[in-house]
Amino acid sequence: HEPSGDAHSLDDLKDGPNPNSKPFYPYSTLIRYAIKGSPNQRLLLEDIYFALASRFPYFRNAPPGWKNSIRHNLSLNPCFEKIPRPLTDRGKGHYWTVNDS
């Protein structure tokens, strides 16, 4: 299921019949809308996890394997682009953004 053309963030995605069940969108769609809905249109991996768990109750209690699926999608899907963290930005990890070209 792909969202309608006017979806811009996770809040625009529809819930399934049971809000506690796994969302019926592919992980790549969930990641895309998490990133697109963020203020700078870039997120750290941990921020993507947080955004998904905040929007969809399923991810709060799901076995941790879904996080592996998120990392797999980010690494292998060419629409996701890794951006180095600025030297002035403390912490670890890279930012991820969506490359629509």
37-49 pLDDT, tens digit each: 999 999 999 999 9
Instruction: Supply the pTM of this predicted model.
Output: 0.89
Q: Are 6 and 12 in contact (CB under 8 A)?
A: yes
CB-CB contact of 26 with 61 (8 Å): no
Distance set, CA 1 to CA 13, 15, 18, 23, 89 (Å) = 10, 12, 16, 10, 37
Q: List the chain domain ranges.
A: 10-98
Instruction: For domain 10-98, give the CATH number.
Output: 1.10.10.10
The model's pLDDT over 15-74, given as tens digits with 9 standing for 90+, comes to 888 878 999 999 999 999 999 999 999 999 999 999 999 999 999 999 999 999 999 999
Taking Cα atoms as reference points, which of 91, 80, 2, 3 lies closest to residue 42? 80
